[in-house]
Amino acid sequence: MEKLASLQASAAISDAKATAKNDAKYEKIVCTTSTLDEPVVWPHQKLDFLQPDKIKDKNGRRPDHPDYDPTTLHVPEKYLNSLSPGVRQWWVLKSDNYDCVLFFKVGKFYELYHMDAEVGVQELGFVYMRGEFAHSGSPEVSFDKMSSILIDRGYKVARVEQTETTEMMSERCKKTKPTKFDKVVRREICQISNRGTQVFGTQCQITPHYQPNYMLAVVEKNEVSSSKYGICYVDTSIGDFYVGEFEDDKNGSRLLTLLSHHMPVLLIFERGYVSERTQEIFRTMLSGILKDPLPANGSKVCSAEKTLKYLAENYFAKFSEDSTSADLWPLALRTMQSETDHLGLTPRDGCKLALKALGQCILYLQRCQLEEKVLPMARFHLYTPPDMNINEPVLDAKAKTVKQKATRRRHMVIDATTLANLRITGEEYSLQSTLDNCCTKFGKRLLHHWICSPSCELDVIVERQQAITELIEHNMELQDLRALVAPMPDFERHLAQIHLFGNKRISQDHPDGRAILFEEKLYNKKKIQNFIGILKGFTALMELPTLFNGFETPLMKRLTQLQPAGGFPDMAKELEFFKNAFDHEAGAQTGVIAPELGVDADYDEALAKIKTINDNFKDYLIEQEKFFGCRLTPGGEKNRFQLEVPENAARKAGKAYQLEGQRKGNKPVRRFSTNETRLLLKELQHAETERDAILKDLSRRIFEKFSKHYELWKQCVDCVANLDVLASLAEYARAQQIICVPELYEQNAEQQPFIDIADGYHPCAAADTFIPNGLMLGTGKTPAPLSILTGPNMGGKSTLMRQVGLLVVMAQIGAHVPAEHCRISLVDRIFTRLGAQDDIMAGQSTFLVELNETSLILKHATVDSLVLLDELGRGTATYDGTAIAASVVNYLADLKCRTLFSTHYHNLIEYFHKDERITLGHMACMVENEDNEDPTQETVTFLYKYSAGACPKSYGFNAAKLAGMPQPIIKRAYELSKRVEAIALKRKVLSKVVASAGGSRCNGLNEIKNLLLQLKACHV
């Protein structure tokens, strides 16, 4: 290996010298040094084909062409032919990957040339190397660190490896008629990485971040008032593909929800086939992520039919009696195939866009050299928008077909608006950050899933509640659990990495299998050390059944006990196999796995061959000792299978004995070989070559054996992830001063939905500084399910609404909630209209945004929904806003869904105060020094307490006072307010006088007298 490294280093130096020489000759740089005031002008900055007014893609298209491909670059053939072989090789690769920073392997270093060198200097702190052209770089071992920095900053990184030695190059050239450009070691792109295509291979350590980095492909079929989307999103570091197709409204509500729940870091779509509205969503929701439009034609896997054909030819077999489970189409993909096509090459109706999106993902992975790294370990799942009923795929084993079984909605719908308005997710001051006490990365990912999709299944929720309660009651076991899982690595990503290391396709057909890595021994050590760490982690987890042996709740039993009592996998046999498969300590130190007998049949066979040959030689040696009549010794390492015969007996050797050498001294000997020894030596060398080849591949074989038990390991990880989330929620509950187990009830047509919360706290606020609030809707003293909420500005209306929404989410993920008691009938969806902002990028005003969100509520709310509407109608004229607000309240009251509707329109109170469908509530305050002439003298103390009845005023002038507005302005505003109020009251009284005049004579006259008195009091 050292000799190989030396030869490669020598070749690298020669290549670099030729590069520098040729660049000096052909690029004709004017100067390479500068003063502080004079920047360097590098040769590539002067190249004509790189100038903004001349640049073209590989097909000769300018940037203003609709099909311009920014990932490629047109490099004139004349220029390429003027370069040295090494430099030409770089430009050829760059022309196909113009959007990437090329880490170009030269010897033991990754070199960055020309514009890439500038990136290295600016972003990575590299220094320019001596030479005529821009040139920087770093050693091979630092690739992980350097590439990770660039990827985090939004760059694409292409790793270019040498895939042959100088000797291999020489042999290649001998067999062909090479041109001068062939006389350079072959280099190939082994992987293109960006934030959405990270696969943690040989040189890259697994990221410490838990968040998934999704690549999302979107295909759209645009219609007049709606769109139909096919989507596929994948986390390449784990290998989970989610594929689905759905219709969406004109606002893209389902697409927005998808983006909120599974925020991608890379978006791919077909150029020219995405509507303007969808592009607006991409610009607003995904402004900071990498977007890679694909060309509209020329792909191998583009249409649904081509996608199925490609997968069938390369990965999956037709279902038959002879098929193994590993060859079968995944159930999710079989659901998308037509039932009438037994070859599985025809897409089912309603699945074409989804399969096309999958095809786009495959196409992108191919370009990044990741298809063979990701697809062999892929697990496919159907994606269904949360607000759609799920059609579960069910395999009919007899008919060998897949049918769809309709099921009721299993999860509460939390759309993009609600997710943002309630601040459910996020790293700071969110519900997720408040509840997140998880110790593992995969536990954190599961908690995110629970919070974004709370359960609507009462059995699931109650099981979680019971498990959390049991953990709280057994604090010692709870802490032992957390201590046990805290050191665990990110098993999900490590399992994918080990699968990658064991992938035979890569070792045989992928450029990485041909790459010459100078630090391969170091990488192998890390592989084996990480593998040993994974084995130790799973071994430690086998303590869980003993740790929780006495637990009684069904979920805890299922997660911690072995079958048949539970569902925790028994990994003892498999772990024992890998424990004894090789010497762990030696493997970690040497980077080589030498398996024990019985671990690998091919290796055992190779060793057996070698032993047989050695035994045969021993037998032959005994025969020869009889012939020569003395003791013979075999030759040493350099003279293997030669006969060392004492000189006094050597005269017996005949023509069959070929003299190979002799040794003088006190005991002179002659060394002979025979046809038999030469044949045995040849057989031994062949057997040793076979053994060494197997030994070199043994790490991969061990990893492959480990990956064959993937479902077993994944089952364990799933159990631990659930335990970690339950323990996290138990830790949250233990830290609260006030906590309760919420009582939840099935959705029932005979009983109207209700909420009953006593002294509840906002889960993200500190209990010692937060004033608790209770709320009853649809039950007890407030049978009406809708409450119109009034109160002073800054009095806590919005906070109360958010608090109610978050407590409902907590209750339906199974968590304990911060309240004295909490009773809720299950909520199928939470709608929110909180806060107000313009959608500037989409060209929508505040009022239009309000109406769009309210329209969504009116279309999709059911009797089991929870609606939180805050100050609807503010963005238009008061009368228009009041009218719209009243109509919405009336509709929701008829629907009888649980609703909190906050408003400052006091006309609504008068309109609905006698309506039995509606209850009135307000956020209480205490007013001191109330002055009807000068509001600046008033002191309003917010009590932040929900109380029955309406609030008489909004105390907006108090808010103005707190904001520091000048007192004369506040006084003048107050005078104008009273005048407007008097005019409105006068009109109202007059309308009542007219109405009363049409009643009975006696009652009408009395009512008119009273109204006239009110009218006199109206001073304008």
CA-to-CA dists, residue 235 to 381, 385, 407, 530, 592, angstroms: 12, 18, 27, 21, 31
CB-based contact 438:724 (threshold 8 Å): yes
CB-based contact 570:579 (threshold 8 Å): no
CA-to-CA dists, residue 32 to 45, 87, 325, angstroms: 12, 19, 63
How far apart CA 193 and CA 859 sit, in angstroms, is 43
How far apart CA 32 and CA 18 sit, in angstroms, is 18
Q: Find the Cα–Cα–Cα–Cα dihedral 656, 659, 660, 664, rounded to 10°.
A: 150
The two tokens of residue 411 are 């999860």
The pLDDT score that the predictor gives to residue 250 is: 85
The pLDDT score that the predictor gives to residue 835 is: 66
Q: CA triplet 923, 926, 932: central angle to 5 degrees? A: 110
Q: What are the DSSP E strand ranges found in 117-261?
A: 135-139, 156-162, 187-193, 214-222, 227-235, 240-248
CB-based contact 739:535 (threshold 8 Å): no
How far apart CA 758 and CA 767 sit, in angstroms, is 14
Task: Report percent pLDDT > 90 for the chain.
Answer: 59
Q: Which of 336-350, 706-720, 869-883 has the highest mean pLDDT?
A: 706-720
How far apart CA 124 and CA 554 sit, in angstroms, is 53
Chain segment 393-427, per-residue pLDDT in tens: 555 555 555 555 545 678 999 998 899 999 999 88
Residue 664 has pLDDT above 70, yes or no: yes
What confidence tier does 247 reach under pLDDT thresholds 50, 70, 90? very high
The pLDDT score that the predictor gives to residue 558 is: 97
What confidence tier does 175 reach under pLDDT thresholds 50, 70, 90? confident
How far apart CA 667 and CA 646 sit, in angstroms, is 7
Residue 783 has pLDDT above 60, yes or no: yes
The pLDDT score that the predictor gives to residue 343 is: 82
Residue 998 has pLDDT above 60, yes or no: no
Alpha helices in 861-936 (DSSP H): 878-895, 906-912
Stretch 260-288: mean pLDDT, rounded? Answer: 91
How far apart CA 613 and CA 649 sit, in angstroms, is 26
Q: How does DSSP classify residue 827?
A: P
Q: Tell me the angle at which helices 491-501 and 520-541 cross, rounded to the nearest 10 degrees.
A: 130
For 366, half-sphere exposure in the C-beta direction (CA atoms, 13 angstrom radius) is: 12
Provide the b/e sequence for 625-658 (b: ≥16 CB within 10 Å).
beebeeebebbeeeeebbbbbeeebbeebeeebe
Stretch 573-600: mean pLDDT, rounded? Answer: 93
Terminus-to-terminus CA distance in the chain, angstroms? 99
The pLDDT score that the predictor gives to residue 607 is: 92
More confident residue, 460 or 843: 460
The pLDDT score that the predictor gives to residue 35 is: 39
DSSP states of 550-562: T--SHHHHHHHSB
Q: CA-based diameter of the chain, in Å?
A: 154
Residue 955 has pLDDT above 80, yes or no: no
Output the pTM of the full model: 0.85
Provide the pairing of β-strand 290-294 with 264-270: parallel
How far apart CA 295 and CA 120 sit, in angstroms, is 30
Q: What are the DSSP E strand ranges found in 169-255?
A: 187-193, 214-222, 227-235, 240-248
Q: How does DSSP classify residue 769?
A: T
Chain segment 54-91, per-residue pLDDT in tens: 999 999 999 999 889 999 999 999 999 999 999 999 99
DSSP states of 830-869: EEEE-S---BTTTTB-HHHHHHHHHHHHHHH--TT-EEEE
Sign of CA dihedral 47, 53, 57, 61: negative
Q: 360-374, 419-433, 562-576, 624-638 — which is least confidently predicted?
A: 624-638
The 3-state DSSP class for residue 380 equals strand
What confidence tier does 390 reach under pLDDT thresholds 50, 70, 90? low
Q: How does DSSP classify residue 198?
A: -
The pLDDT score that the predictor gives to residue 494 is: 96
Q: Tell me the angle at which helices 710-735 and 458-473 cross, rounded to the nearest 10 degrees.
A: 70
Chain segment 3-37, per-residue pLDDT in tens: 434 434 444 444 444 444 444 333 333 333 333 44
The pLDDT score that the predictor gives to residue 968 is: 75
Q: 17-31, 286-300, 538-552, 640-654 — which is least confidently predicted?
A: 17-31
Q: Find the Cα–Cα–Cα–Cα dihedral 957, 958, 962, 964, rounded to 10°.
A: 30
CB-based contact 897:862 (threshold 8 Å): yes
Stretch 454-483: mean pLDDT, rounded? Answer: 97
Enumerate residues 6+ apart whose C-beta is below 8 A from 97: 71, 72, 156, 158, 189, 192
Residue 940 has pLDDT above 70, yes or no: no
The two tokens of residue 481 are 């659990």
In terms of Cβ atoms closer than 10 Å to its own Cβ (0-12, 13-18, 19+), residue 558 is middle
Stretch 562-574: mean pLDDT, rounded? Answer: 94
The pLDDT score that the predictor gives to residue 781 is: 81
The pLDDT score that the predictor gives to residue 872 is: 81
What confidence tier does 976 reach under pLDDT thresholds 50, 70, 90? low
| Residues constituting the chain | 1020
Residue 695 has pLDDT above 90, yes or no: no
The pLDDT score that the predictor gives to residue 265 is: 96
Residue with tokens 């030994």: 695
> What average pLDDT does the structure give for the chain?
86
Q: 348-357, 625-634, 727-736, 971-980 — which is least confidently predicted?
A: 971-980
Nearest to 510 by CA among 363, 315, 704, 372: 372
Enumerate residues 6+ apart whose C-beta is below 8 A from 618: none
More confident residue, 899 or 955: 899
What confidence tier does 996 reach under pLDDT thresholds 50, 70, 90? low
